Amino acid sequence: MEVSGVRDPSCSPDEATETHRSRWLILAVMIVAEIMDLLDASIVNVAGPDLEKSLGAGSVGLQWVIGGYALTLGAGLVLGGRLGDRYGRRRMFLIGLAAFTASSLLCAIAPNIESLILFRLLQGTAGAMLLPQGLGLLRENFSGPELTKVFAIFGPVLGLGGIIGPVLGGFLIEGDFFGLGWRSVFLVNLPIGIAALIVATKCVPRKAGDRTVRVDLTGAALVVASCALLVLPLNQGQENGWPLWTWLSMAASAIGFALFALQQRRTAVAGREPLVTPGLLRKPAFTVGLGGIALFFGGLVGTQLVLTLFLQIGHRFTAGEAGLGNLPLAVGTAIGGAISGAFLADRIGRKVLQIGPLVQLVGAAVLWFELDGLDAAAFSTLDIAPGVALAGIGAGMVIAALFSFILAAVDDDEIGSASGVLSAVQAVGGSIGVAVFGSVFFARAEAGDFTGGFHRALLVQACLLVAFFAITFLLPRKGRPEDEQHGIAPGAEREPAGGGGPREIAW
């Protein structure tokens, strides 16, 4: 037999070859599961008009369909990693994958917008149980140079998942295969999920969890409640005229997060295991980095949504055309990531995180003037492609390097917990971005001023980018090497608690 990449001498050559192959099937299954998550985070962006026609979804309903998934995903990621520690990563991976596939089917057959929102929340919860197990399973089954190769494959493929989401969604909706329309963006998960489940059941080795690990359900409840209290008023406030309850809810959310930090410290002092290593919250660079993650991804995800809404609602683009309209952003992000990862991050250090937002600001300025000069009758995506692509290049420069610089501020034994928290904040930040940017855009779009709505969104993004730029000066000057980001310390093979890892997403 073979464990963690080390072959048992008692194995026959045929057994060793078969085990080796099955381990690479494990990598394939992990990649498929992660791509399913990335696709579902962005594939629905182009479904707005179809959801409105089919289910009567308004602007708030659309924001919940898109942002609700990211909300429950982010709120549950750290808990999902801890459940994998206790009950075994294989078991939690299979449960999460089965639940994700089943909830995708429920989304596809949703009879109304309320049930679709509910099923999207369930889908995000299933993703939170599924995703944290992936990197832990890879560490259990690969080691040494082979593990480094695995991560070299893992990252770029995941980036591709984020890029193709809106394009694939547009293709499926516009193709209207079998008359399914928007429902096909969820049904596409069924054959993929079932196949991955069958392969994972056969090839992922059984390994018992550590039943001495205690799951902090109180901390998990505080996180979920605080996230909900924040996102609910942001989604509903614009439509309801920002009544008193929306402000009280956001204030209660801030109190909830403060209580969570206090509860985590008390849990650790009492000798129990908290969801988040308390020492992380005492590291200024890490806590500042959490704010930077939320600002950056909130602005990035929100702006991409506004771009899609502008094309579909403002200029009556079909879902397929809107998906292709996202290509300049996707290609720019890929170029920026390649430049940052291959050339800049190691040579100029933290400055890459400062150049990136400046390039994004220039792209936003170019896009602003492109929008001003539009001829509505003859508009095409080529009219705004330069500004969108330039903004994408800046975003890619940041995405490729951001996690490594924040994780450089934490100790080796805190990597697992830290990366899980960063991933959760990234997802929740994206959900908040959907709510904020959607509200800003629709405030003007309802009066028919779609360009004005886009302009306002660009102003909000500019403010977030300026704040993010200021935060970068408080981050470490050098990033953490990529292998160490996944819990591989130099000269040691170890596995941090939580089984999590940063999700490198090219939106």
Which residue, 440, 69, 432, 40, is CA-closest to 227?
Answer: 432
Dist CA 187 CA 175 (whole Å): 14
Separation CA 384–CA 210 (nearest Å): 54
Terminal CA-to-CA distance of the chain, rounded, Å?
A: 40
214 vs 118: CA distance, rounded Å: 29
Q: How far apart are CA 293 and CA 104, in angstroms?
A: 28
* pLDDT digit string (tens) for the chain, length 507 residues: 444 444 444 444 444 444 555 777 888 888 888 888 777 887 888 888 888 888 988 888 889 999 999 999 999 988 998 898 888 889 999 999 999 999 999 999 999 999 999 999 999 999 999 988 887 788 777 777 777 777 767 666 666 666 677 888 888 888 888 888 899 999 999 999 999 999 999 888 888 878 888 889 999 999 999 999 999 999 888 788 889 999 999 999 999 999 999 999 999 888 888 888 878 888 889 999 999 999 999 999 999 999 999 999 888 898 888 888 888 988 898 889 888 876 787 788 889 999 999 999 999 999 999 998 887 778 888 899 999 999 999 999 998 888 888 988 888 777 878 888 888 999 999 999 999 999 999 989 888 899 999 999 999 999 999 999 999 999 998 876 665 665 555 544 444 444 444 454 433
Determine the distance from the C-alpha atom of residue 210 to the mean position of all C-alpha atoms in its chain, rounded to a whole number: 28
Q: What pTM value is reported for the model?
A: 0.85
Q: Are 311 and 371 in contact (CB under 8 A)?
A: no
- Taking CA atoms, 294 is separated from 24, 145, 299, 465, 476, in Å, by 34, 33, 8, 11, 18
Handedness of CA 141, 138, 89, 198 (dihedral sign): negative
DSSP 341-381: IIIIHHHHTTHHHHHHHHHHHHHHHHHHHHHHT--GGG--G
Q: Does an H or E element contain 3, and which?
A: strand 2-3
Chain-centre distance of CA 319, in angstroms? 22
Q: What are the chain's domains?
A: 2-485 (1.20.1250.20)
DSSP-derived letter for residue 275 is: S
Nearest Cα residue to 420 out of 318, 496, 481, 326? 496
Measured CA to CA, the distance from residue 337 to residue 482 in angstroms comes to 14
DSSP SS3 for 6: strand
**Residue 315 near residue 52, CB atoms below 8 Å:** no
